[in-house]
Structure 1
Amino acid sequence: MPNSHSKSRFALFALFLGMGSDSMADDIKELLNLSLIELMEITITSNVAKPVREQSGVVSVIEAQEIARSGARNLLEILKTVPGVWVGTDIGGLLSTTFRGIWGFEAKILLLIDDIPQNEQSFGTLLLGNRYPAEMIKRIEIIRGPGSVNFGGQAELMVIKITTKGAEQQGGTLSVSADISEDNIHQNNYVITAGGDLNDTWKYAVTGFAAQGDYTSARYNAPSGASAELKSKSDVRPLHFNLGLNNDAWDMRVMYDKFRQEDLIGTGALGLFSSNGFTPFSDPSQRSFTSLATRLAYRWQAGEHLRITPSLIYSDQSNWQIEYPGRYSYYDLQRWHFDVNGVYKLSDESNILAGITAYREKHRQVSRYKPPSLFNGGEHTVQDYAVYFQYEVDTAWVDVTVGGRFEHNDLVGSAFVPRIALTKVWKRLHTKLMYNEAFKIPQSITVAVAEAVGRPLAGAEDTHTVEWELGYRLNDAWYLQGNLYWSKIQDYIAYDPFAVTTVTAGDISTYGGEFQLQLRQNRWSADLGYSLFMLNDSNIDTLSVAADNHAVLGIPNHKLSLNLGYKLDDSASLNLTAILVGGRYACVSDPEKWLCGEPQKLDMETDLTVFYRREHKHWHYGIGIANLLDTDVRYAQPYRGGSAPIPGLGRRLMVNVGYRF
């Protein structure tokens, strides 16, 4: 961590650059001048490009302009404002997301950046925190509900697709941002994006970023009663490089990513778990994840009606690298993943997508301080193949989508999942009714660890979801949309603290809804969102709350969010982001067992951020205050795993400066 003098110099330098630049804002002008109708016509692609409200799924789209106006630092801060999504913690203070009352950390939510999966492939976990800076993002597509038909066995709950800023920039941007509290600097990000034409045929895009900063400066109190200061002992350091080359037919990309985080918490009780109990940490250990991935894709227009796209992804990962004095271990993986799909236009009203996909991956465990216990110190190979299709037809009465996927995996055998969607769009009104099934294919290390402790998994998780969406444009300024859902997961794979591994735990079902009201009028823009989930039924003890039959441990039943923007002039905007989270239950105190005890209900939290952004020619700058009310933000563990709530960041000054070249 930088010392206090370097922190002060950084803050003064950032403020000096910011105050020294007037402003002009192409991005802000573009966002705040978009009408509601133009926003509703933004298109995304499933089989073919269609406006969001015509797509056969519950989809949210967040554009770069909206992100810039909000002042959000990274992907996790953006997702916190999305209805249905909240933040939880796993071991060691690692942060990820929940969705509709389910913890999505391990292989349940798929994150794609420029079509390359970001989940680590040893356990399938999705690690967020101070990662994936907002400055690199051009667009986020959030596909709610099961996505296994099109995306496979890690898209059980939701798919998050990110497109980074590309060749359309015709230049680039260098930006620096930091959150400054009374005693520390948090989330200081350094981001560069560039893109343009290499020649008449080829275009390039490059993104790079590095970041550093404690995710908290507060004290952590373990359920056992032990506690420790996390200030200067909770550093997060992501590093990312993304290079893309493309023309009308080819798309090539190389992506390097390393995520490193200090861990003083251990499994939750401020110690390292072993057969002899807990050994307290005196200094933080280091937990890191490293990935190098390449993707090659070719778009072949094979005639007027047929488009074929083969792609190949190779990834080399080192996951869950744990470094502690005298000890070092990690899981190593290489994967080849091939996919070819084709879209055939049957008529002006119908089309069909069909594809085949296969991957082969090799795993091994590496350890410095004990003989590897998995795969007898050698390698383990897993193969998977699938065929999938999705047929779309527009009729005078209703638009119909029917799809399915058959997949065989060496670890869990074969499965078939279907989906069907009925969509209808009138002038101001649209409605959708969808039924989806999905599966979670547990990763090789998950299966191997469960077998090693004598608790083999029953197979893949199975998910069944029904969704109904209704949207109505009240006038040229106001739009109201909502969806209701019911979802059931069978053979739920959950962490068992007594077995110290994930096990097939039982079944769980939830229901609820997500609602959004949008305004685009003159100088004003507003997005008001509300989400509700209720536990319908569960026989999984590690998730349950005896005091509330509708609650899941660690996840709020209610969330309200507001993004309110005001265009001060053609060059500046002022934005308010408010997130109100209902009380939820968490493991707070259990001095005897260290696991959980009787869950306690946390207070309701209100997180307010005010951000001012201004641009001039090549410069932009912003200044704001995050957590304006200095609320005690706490991220709870959504299962009985031994961790108490992790304290979040308090009130802090937000500063960012950027230069466009």
Structure 2
Amino acid sequence: MLKNYRYAWLAGMLLLSIPSFSQDLDSLLNLNAFTEESDLQKILNKNVAVSSKNGLTTRETPGIITVITSEEIQNSGARDMIDVLRLVPGFDVQQDLQFVMGIGLRGSWANEGKVLVMLDGQPFNELLYQTVAIGNRFPVDAVERIEIIRGPGSAIYGGSAEYGVINIITKAAESLDGVAVYGVGGFHANAIGRTNAGVMAARKSEIFSWDLSAFKGNGIVSDGQYQDLFQSNDVQDLKKVTRADPMNLNLGLKYKNLAFRTMYDQFETSDPVTYVSNKNFYADLRYAWKVNSKLQITPQLKYYNQVPWTYGPMGTDEKQFHVRAKRSLAQVDAQYDFSRKASVTFGGLYFQDEGIDLLDGGLFQGNKSLTLNNFAFFAQGLFKHRLANATLGFRYEKNNRYGAAFVPRIALTKKIENLHFKILYSQAFRAPSIQNINIALNGQIKPEKSNVFEVELGYQFTPEMLLAVNAFSISTKNILVYSSEGEGETFNEWYENSAKSGSRGVEMVYSIRKKTWYANLTYSFSAAINDNTALTYAVPGQSQYVGFAKNKVTLNTNVYLTPKLSFNPTFIYASKRFAYTTLDDEGNPALTTLDPYVLVNAFLNYKNIFPGFTLGAGAYDITNTRPAIPEAYNGGYAPIPGRSREYVVKISYQINFKK
């Protein structure tokens, strides 16, 4: 594994160095001085707040960052967040229980409390297990941009951001000043893949702003034929027995420095025998008090009321698991700017989580409810110097059941003319959630703790061309692992801490952005650490985890055939994976190899056919490769058959209010 890692790192450095010989030093140093800001530079120079409360540009912010714009989403014809994330280095999608789709990052299963997902500032990680169901859930056609940290975010965001952060910002909340409607249809040869639609309205002014959006859809998980791992049921036609149905209502109000947002989100999905329902309500009130030109204090109140992971037999109203989870949170942030070159962000918060059994009242160790109390303090300073920007921060969090966690971070970043570098070290943690604590083995559970090292080098060869290469090392101790045994009345499940897991790897992004075309080429390599003890994720004799490819290459290209008409082909390659697809001689799940695959997609987009009206059409998985989606652990599910070729049609219409 280390040998492969060194080769990948060497290859990345060679890629970085080769083009520098094609131009002399003086021309490179003066590229930005005498040229108009390119489209690529407009993206790179935009302040990104997701990894730093102080808002630095993408190339200097203390994190490995990906920013996906609404233009890129619209041009690619992305159907859902799976399509978006597959084009991001290090990300993949695996199967959780009941055919719920979850996030994998940098070669590790990251769906339970390791990646924080936010929509307009509201966290979508449910409170029982800290998971986020994706798939046909998020309104990608309503998105203004997506800011992603491919790395730890615990120092800022707490115990749900151990490996990464996804910050989704909608057009209604950000840029829309008018009314917009949109719809998408996806069609397989013998099934309707999805029918989604939404409407947004927003009015922006310096004094009072408001936005309102609604999104509703219907879909299926797959149109393939599925045989369960233990062959206890007949082969199932998934287009008839699965669903993926989202709904989201989102309201935001802002009066001067006072802001309020509330949201209701519902997602229904299923495997052939079990339905799953997630219902979430959010409310967020905050006030940005500008005390003076240097100091801003922001108090905020948050309230979550969720009924996640409700499940029962398909075709019935029976609920075998039905729990309400609530959180009440109070937080105060402050930012003080000592000067143009030095600032500090600090604050504290308190929140209470409560799980309430809505069935017989005995889920929580014989009690009807379980209550957790947390408080946290955090601080982060930014110091700008001609040699490097230094970011220093920490977070301390304590819970009445699992104890305390302390995580520091340090970052050195700098953009020097066309070169930028980042040297990052962070500790991060995953806080045990309500169910982690409730069914902990012997009643004892500890927070996960990760040490993460990251280095990035990037070079902008011309105003339209950038290459960035980063290497990472993640070592996680006390990793939270789910286990179970028995069936029916003898079924028993628990969480426990395993000693260690983690991964190492390299990621590369090469971007070219011209006036009439752009292309993004990415490569990501990840390998499991040698001393992993979480056996449910391990592949014996291999330096990779179940369900993950070591190598992934993506190419997202777009050509503007006319100022209004664009053509966008994308290509995704993933190397071999391992999955539980069969049983051994003793009737236990056995690992086999899934072949490498190449996904080929293409989308044609015609903007402003008449003012405000856009029409797009394309095909996903043109070659009908149908890559399966396996579980990322030994959980007793066979891989979900990949979707067949899907023809996608999108329409949108926007009317802007007059100023």
Return the TM-score normalized by structure 1.
0.89
1:287 CA drift (Å): 0.9
Q: For the structure 1 residues 447 and 342, does the alpha-carbon distance in structure 2 shift closer, same or farther, using more than 3 Å as the test?
A: same
Q: Which of 241, 247, 251 is equivalent to 2:259? A: 251
1:39 CA drift (Å): 2.3
RMSD, aligned α-carbons = 1.6
1:98 CA drift (Å): 0.4
- Aligned residue for 1:208? 214
The gaps in structure 1 that reach 5 residues or longer are: 1-32, 265-283
- Aligned residue for 1:626? 620
**Residue 92 (structure 2) pairs with residue 92 (structure 1):** no
Deviations 1:285-309 (CA, angstroms, capped at 9, x unpaired) = 3210101111101111110101111
Q: Which of 31, 38, 49 is equivalent to 2:42? A: 38
**Residue 322 (structure 2) pairs with residue 330 (structure 1):** yes
Q: Which of 571, 580, 586 is equivalent to 1:587? A: 580
| Counterpart-to-counterpart distance in 2, 1:594 and 1:140 | 44
* Worse-superposed segment, 317-326 or 50-59: 317-326
Q: Is the 8 A contact 1:222 1:589 kept in 2?
A: no
Deviations 1:593-619 (CA, angstroms, capped at 9, x unpaired) = 66522x111011111110000122121
Deviations 1:322-344 (CA, angstroms, capped at 9, x unpaired) = 13347313111121111111110
| Counterpart-to-counterpart distance in 1, 2:444 and 2:571 | 41
**Residue 170 (structure 2) pairs with residue 170 (structure 1):** no
Q: Which of 526, 529, 554 is equivalent to 1:533? A: 526
Letter in 2 for 1:293: Y
| Counterpart-to-counterpart distance in 1, 2:61 and 2:240 | 46
**Residue 515 (structure 2) pairs with residue 522 (structure 1):** yes
* Worse-superposed segment, 648-657 or 217-226: 217-226
Q: For the structure 1 residues 219 and 497, does the alpha-carbon distance in structure 2 shift closer, same or farther, using more than 3 Å as the test?
A: farther
| Counterpart-to-counterpart distance in 1, 2:191 and 2:149 | 37
Q: Is the 8 A contact 1:337 1:359 kept in 2?
A: yes
Q: Is the 8 A contact 2:551 2:574 kept in 1?
A: yes
Deviations 1:139-187 (CA, angstroms, capped at 9, x unpaired) = 1110121111100001100011111112632212111111111111112
| Counterpart-to-counterpart distance in 2, 1:166 and 1:308 | 26
| Counterpart-to-counterpart distance in 2, 1:457 and 1:100 | 29
Q: Is the 8 A contact 2:100 2:270 kept in 1?
A: no
Q: Which of 316, 320, 340 is equivalent to 1:348? A: 340
**Residue pairs, 1:581-620, within 5 angstroms:** 581-590=574-583, 595-597=588-590, 599-616=591-608, 617-620=611-614
Q: Is the 8 A contact 1:497 1:641 kept in 2?
A: no
- Aligned residue for 1:237? 245
Q: For the structure 1 residues 594 and 494, does the alpha-carbon distance in structure 2 shift closer, same or farther, using more than 3 Å as the test?
A: farther
1:564 CA drift (Å): 0.2
**Residue pairs, 1:490-509, within 5 angstroms:** 490-498=477-485, 500-509=493-502
Q: Which of 349, 362, 374 is equivalent to 1:372? A: 362
| Counterpart-to-counterpart distance in 2, 1:476 and 1:512 | 29
Q: Which of 189, 192, 195 is equivalent to 1:182? A: 189
- Aligned residue for 1:193? 200
- Aligned residue for 2:472? 485
Q: Which of 284, 291, 309 is equivalent to 1:295? A: 284
Q: Which of 560, 563, 566 is equivalent to 2:556? A: 563
| Counterpart-to-counterpart distance in 2, 1:36 and 1:591 | 52
Runs of 4+ in structure 1 over 6 Å off: none
| Counterpart-to-counterpart distance in 2, 1:353 and 1:104 | 28
Q: What fraction of aligned residue pairs are identical, expressed as a percent?
A: 27
| Counterpart-to-counterpart distance in 2, 1:67 and 1:41 | 20
Q: Which of 115, 119, 123 is equivalent to 1:117? A: 123
- Aligned residue for 1:16? none
**Residue pairs, 1:415-564, within 5 angstroms:** 415-451=405-441, 454=442, 456-498=443-485, 500-537=493-530, 538-548=532-542, 550-564=543-557
**Residue 73 (structure 2) pairs with residue 67 (structure 1):** yes
The gaps in structure 2 that reach 5 residues or longer are: 1-36, 486-491
1:510 CA drift (Å): 1.3
| Counterpart-to-counterpart distance in 2, 1:112 and 1:201 | 26
Q: For the structure 1 residues 380 and 470, does the alpha-carbon distance in structure 2 shift closer, same or farther, using more than 3 Å as the test?
A: same
| Counterpart-to-counterpart distance in 2, 1:51 and 1:461 | 31
* Worse-superposed segment, 442-451 or 67-76: 442-451
- SS of alignment partner, residue 303 of structure 1: coil
Letter in 1 for 2:318: R
- SS of alignment partner, residue 387 of structure 2: coil
Return the TM-score normalized by structure 2.
0.89
| Counterpart-to-counterpart distance in 1, 2:588 and 2:132 | 23
